[in-house]
Copies of this chain bind each other. A is one copy, B any other.
């Protein structure tokens, strides 16, 4: 239902405004937890969205996070004329493990700042209907992105833009901004049974 707002003008008249129907508020979705399927579910959303004619950008905050299979399938969708793009954020967000040296962290931080600018430009450009911030929660966790910066971007993004954020250990500030948060939890995992990851299925 349209919202009716009333206020007083400087002359004391009552001004009645009808706010536009909020049909197309962009959703902020978060996939977190220690289980499988956070990035995979985001890819599924991308597939559904692009099939509906939405323009989709996937930004990867871990270099090499996407596999050959995903890239090839996305390329096939592009060649079919669908507006979908996947873009690694380059050096900015590389980190191999928690043991990264302090020197490395400083270099990464500088590169991350540059990558952040590109990310902000894309989000604010209004060229996209859905932007996936894949594994961004890691970049926040490892101190490469201040969480406040991400929260501010979520507040300032085009209202109708949908955003999906993925990665373990989503910060409470991000969860507070989200409309829908799903936690993927491991009930059991093939690794525990000594089975190595299957190409095409798990990577």
Listed in ascending order, the chain A residues whose CB lies under 8 Å from chain B are 24-27, 29-33, 35-37, 39-45, 47-54, 67-74, 76-77, 79-82, 129-130, 162, 175, 178-190, 193, 195, 198-203
Chain A interface main SS type: mixed
Residue of B with least CB distance to A188: B181
Cα A203 to Cα B32 in complex, Å, equals: 20
- With A47-B74, A49-B201, A182-B184 already in contact, 10 other A-B pairs whose C-beta atoms are closer than 8 Å: A40-B45, A48-B203, A51-B76, A52-B200, A162-B200, A179-B193, A179-B195, A180-B188, A181-B188, A185-B185
How many monomers of this protein are in the complex? 2
Q: Knowing A40-B45, A76-B82 are in contact, say whether A187-B193 is a contact too (CB < 8 A).
A: no
